[in-house]
Amino acid sequence: MARKHYHFTSESVSEGHPDKVCDRISDEVVDLFYREALEQGFDPSAVRVACETLATTNRVVIAGEYRGPASVTTAKIEAAARHAIKAIGYEQAGFHWNTAKVEILLHAQSADIAQGVDGGEKKDEGAGDQGIMFGYACDETPELMPAPIYYAQRILKLLAEARHSGAEKALGPDSKSQVTVEYRNGKPVAATQIVVSHQHVDESLTSKDMLKLVKPYVKKALPKGWITKHTVWHVNPTGKFFIGGPDGDAGLTGRKIIVDTYGGAAPHGGGAFSGKDPTKVDRSAAYAARYLAKNVVAAKLAKRCTIQLSYAIGVAQPLSIYVDTHGTGKVSEAKLEKAIAKVMDLSPRGIRKHLNLNRPIYARTSAYGHFGRPPDQDGGFSWERIDLVKALKAAVK
């Protein structure tokens, strides 16, 4: 039986966190390949990128494999990395967009991988790797996301907007948040513990100064009434956060997979998203699973929905489709599994076509979560649409 009264905690990190700097750079490289492909007449469905980034004090190392238009040069990749660092806001002595050394170690994609993944006219395109992917949705927020991760992300997003606009000149790019939510009768009702650690550019600022600065943004981020006299605050609990970003701690692509998804409220298959083109089912199938789970909940077929998809390298269709509605379903999970296979082609090519993923839409996903964000006008975050509601309702009848 599901618990009705409990506390659950999720964390988030900002775009300036060292790992997120690396995610942003890796996704800028993916976008670069797609932009160049579209400009040069190179088939975007043939683009392949698996880009990993490491960042430390005034150094960035970009490694991995690719296939794409010859117009993508090392100079353009370096420019994309510097653009990402500048856009985030790093102009400090230990990590500066203009002076950091950028080393590029990308190489051509393995022919062994390519032969199993590429599809010709007579065969389906296979998955880029084996693996399991999960999608999740619930009715705790209007965005159908778990409340703890959604509000932890929102706190940092508001603070970042204030920093970029110049409204809060004391803030640096690096920050983390954590929200503990109290659930009563299975519903989120209050924030009992709030943690915000935020870099500041004035070394003299104290924890009390930062609490005063941060508090209004936290209150704006959370639902009315969630902050009470019992809420415990932890703002820069170590006392000072002046040295931040890759100068304070090395970063790597793909180390914030729980921050990127559901904050621990749902399973994760283990694969990261950033730096990967959508032939990699780590990314595209996780997007598809979220899309399907969100549409199940939006259709009011369940209050909570977890979907698992599994794939084998070189095999087009998923090996399995699993649905769990956690006792909240209006129809059986078996019926939903059949309906999901009916309303969407879950081959890698089918996913990319349905969600229109062969485009430069990935840098924007690299911070503040891949899910729970409104679809962009140009089709970014297409996996957040709820356009399968009617089809799912019809399929389960």
Of the residues 11, 17, 100, 363, only one is catalytic, namely 17
The Cα 208–Cα 203 span in angstroms is 13
Active site (annotated) includes residue 52: yes
241 is catalytic: yes
Instruction: Check if the beta carbon of residue 172 is closer than 8 Å to that of residue 244.
Output: yes
Place of tokens 């690719």: 66
Selection from 85, 56, 67 nearest residue 30 by Cα: 67
**Which among 249, 333, 337, 345 is annotated as catalytic?**
249
Q: Phi and psi at residue 83, in whole multiples of 5°?
A: -60, -45
Helix, strand, or coil (residue 338) = helix
Verify whether residue 249 is a known catalytic residue: yes
Residue 155 Cα distances to 81, 152, 221, 243, 262, angstroms: 26, 5, 5, 21, 16
Examine the residue annotation and report whether 182 is marked as an active-site residue of this protein.
Answer: no
- CA of 256: how far to CAs of 158, 251, 316, in Å? 20, 10, 28
> Is there a catalytic annotation at residue 11?
no
Query: Which of the residues 19, 36, 125, 140 is marked catalytic?
Result: 19
Catalytic residue among 33, 95, 241, 371: 241
Question: Pick the catalytic residue: 154, 276, 294, 373?
Answer: 276
Q: From the candidates 8, 11, 20, 324, give the one annotated as an active-site residue.
A: 20
User: Could you confirm whether 17 is annotated as catalytic?
Assistant: yes
Q: Which of 280, 349, 359, 370 is catalytic?
A: 280
Nearest-Å Rg of the Cα atoms of the chain is: 21
Query: DSSP 3-state assignment of 109?
Result: coil
Distances, alpha carbon 73 to alpha carbons 33, 69, 215, 392, in Å: 10, 9, 45, 45
Backbone angles phi, psi at 70, to 5 degrees: -65, -15
> Among this protein's residues, is 20 annotated catalytic?
yes
Q: Is 282 one of the catalytic residues?
A: yes
> Which residue out of 24, 48, 67, 176 is catalytically annotated?
176
Please say if 276 is a catalytic residue: yes
Q: Catalytic pick from 63, 87, 162, 250?
A: 250
- DSSP-based three-state secondary structure for 305: strand
Q: Which of 82, 154, 163, 256 is the catalytic position?
A: 256
Catalytic residue, candidates 23, 31, 52, 384 = 52
Catalytic residue among 282, 283, 299, 367: 282
Task: Assess whether 121 carries a catalytic annotation.
Answer: no
Count Cβ atoms within 10 A of the Cβ of residue 317 and give its class: 0-12 exposed, 13-18 middle, 19 or more buried.
middle
Question: Which of 59, 65, 78, 215 does the annotation list as catalytic?
Answer: 65
Residue partners of 338: CB distance under 8 A and separation at least 6: 395
Whether residue 256 lies in the annotated active site: yes
Separation between Cα atoms, residue 213 and residue 219, nearest integer Å: 11
Three-class SS of residue 272?
coil
Catalytically active residues are: 17, 19-20, 52, 65, 176, 241, 249-250, 255-256, 276, 280, 282
